[in-house]
Structure 1
């Protein structure tokens, strides 16, 4: 996961911005993709076809690194591409320099490499993110008026989960289109946050795929941008290779 490699796309093209320089995604795929074993690249392409951009995960001010890592691993496993982190008070564990990096990697199994993170500082920024993409916000809370079954699957949604101690903040709940609960049959009132994420994502992703009648819904150009990033981050010495290509006359775009 790199702060200086960003993917971008529009209807007609896809690109990577690497250390401030923009490269066409197809250039990266052509030159660096040739260095991957065929099964490795084929696996990347197959996974991209099962990615959903219409269901996103958001987590707010998590305290414990193992919970953040488990949420990311769960999201990636179910095919979520976008993970939003609201960091009003606490840095998300994967971005916290004081977190147990080795322990985090052990839990995530490096799945953070395959998702797209969107960092926000407030529920207002989260609301703006959703509005810009035509998505509804649905927050998880034990006192929610709706149930998980009430969360719409016929529109794109962001599912939001609060931290381990306080749950979802009131201002974040107020920014949501709806607040839902996971119905319980026992004495406890709530699950661990990573368990809640797993239950809700599995349910919502299954329902969404049934409605769109497809395993994934990422636009083609976004798939190409992501494939380029995945290849770039998978190839050792990718940066020196690109610098050599520039000296040989290969243009970035």
Structure 2
């Protein structure tokens, strides 16, 4: 499996505080069946000062440690970017970090937002041939109150990443319902761990796989956990992830 959203880099945001804890997370991920992780520290959220250079250096250091310890986990650079009216300006300046060097960018919505404002940013991103992935919509307050926004954003070429723990019910009943409904309706393009630590938010997806298989069948498992993430890496030649509209 490929986990496209995980805070696994040590000492860079609210993920593991040191290398030992990051290694423990890597071991847990491998045991759960994950072979590749895109490291996505919080980016441009007004809390953590993280740069593209910091992520690149951290990924290189972490990769060397994993190789020394013979842990079979590939770690790729990425970021969880707080979407804002300035997102396209920052993109044009080359300040935003994509997922694994691709055209896919992981964006986090503010808890409270105006729908039309987000739609305008999505349209600007499409003009730049960027493919936005919206992180954990089922946990967002505004979307929880207005789930009808989900297909509207998909129409604007946005993709959605659901959190594994939401599917297993560990993030509460409302998150559980929205996440499962999204899988049923084909609106969950990715399921990721959003892992931060071993105890409370581990980078494990094996239980979520079981839920997706029950709700959407084997095809959903293959699409969500393998085919779509592989397209981010460019290792699948079948094209972009399919949404309600043409991508690109």
TM-score category by the smaller chain? 0.3 to 0.5
Higher relative contact order (CA 8 A, sep 6+): 1
Tell me the TM-score normalised to structure 1 length.
0.38
> Which protein is bigger by CA-based radius of gyration?
1
Tell me the TM-score normalised to structure 2 length.
0.38
